[in-house]
Amino acid sequence: MNETYPFSLEPLPYDYDALEPVIDAETLRFHHDKHLAAYVEKLNAAIKPHQDLHNMTLEQLLTEPDKIPEEAKTPVKNNGGGVYNHQVYFNAMEKDEFTTPEGEIGKAIERDFGSLDAFMKEMTEAALSQFGSGYGWLVNNNGKLKVINLPNQDVPLSDTLYPLLPVDVWEHAYYLQYQNRRPDYVNNWFSLINWDYVNKRLEDSRQWFEEHQ
């Protein structure tokens, strides 16, 4: 995520119907083309008047708030978080075909949760216990995997946290298809996880910690 202003709407890495039947094409189209596009547009609008921000990456904008002018702090945090979280969310999914984590992420899940089932249970609880809008997250917590939830578009990115895998529980992520059945959506979402992408983010997290400690 080394892009700088003006930020662009990153295309989906698959067709709109690729995640059916778990996420239907209409939901995915609205989610990406309307909701994410609005975050991109509002982020650019917040940054445009501030020349000093034009060369900052999205990760820098989200982790270096002291460099953000006071009037831009909230819109950059909210909309920048919306862009970042959605990019990870969309890229962390692929065609509906349940796979198990392999490689380093598989070993780390076994080490830190005991089993894939135990991880899925924690992730489900985090997603379902998030009051209102937000995300359930698998994060690298300074070398150890952890499940957390965060409200709104907060991003688990800091000197000790790096985001690996999100499940979006904002209603726009599932309501057209599932209405109020968040548990059904979350349970079905597990079959979409792109573990190769999560593995890549685990690798990236190590470099992030080296650069920020």
What digits encode the pLDDT tens for the residues 121-142? 999 999 999 999 999 999 999 9
**What homologous superfamily does CATH list for 103-211?**
Iron/manganese superoxide dismutase, C-terminal domain (3.55.40.20)
At 1 the pLDDT is 64
The model's pLDDT over 81-110, given as tens digits with 9 standing for 90+, comes to: 999 999 999 999 999 788 899 999 999 999
| pLDDT for the residue 97 | 84
* CATH (one of 3.40.50.300, 1.10.287.990, 3.40.50.2300, 3.40.50.720) for 25-91: 1.10.287.990
Could you give the CA distance from residue 28 to residue 16 in angstroms, rounded to a whole number? 6
Phi and psi torsions of 93, nearest 5°: -120, 155
Could you tell me the CA-to-CA distances from 50 to 39, 61, 69, 144, 171 in Å, in that order? 18, 12, 8, 37, 33
Q: Write out residues in the chain with pLDDT < 50, as ranges.
A: none
Contact partners, residue 30, CB within 8 Å, separation at least 6: 172, 176
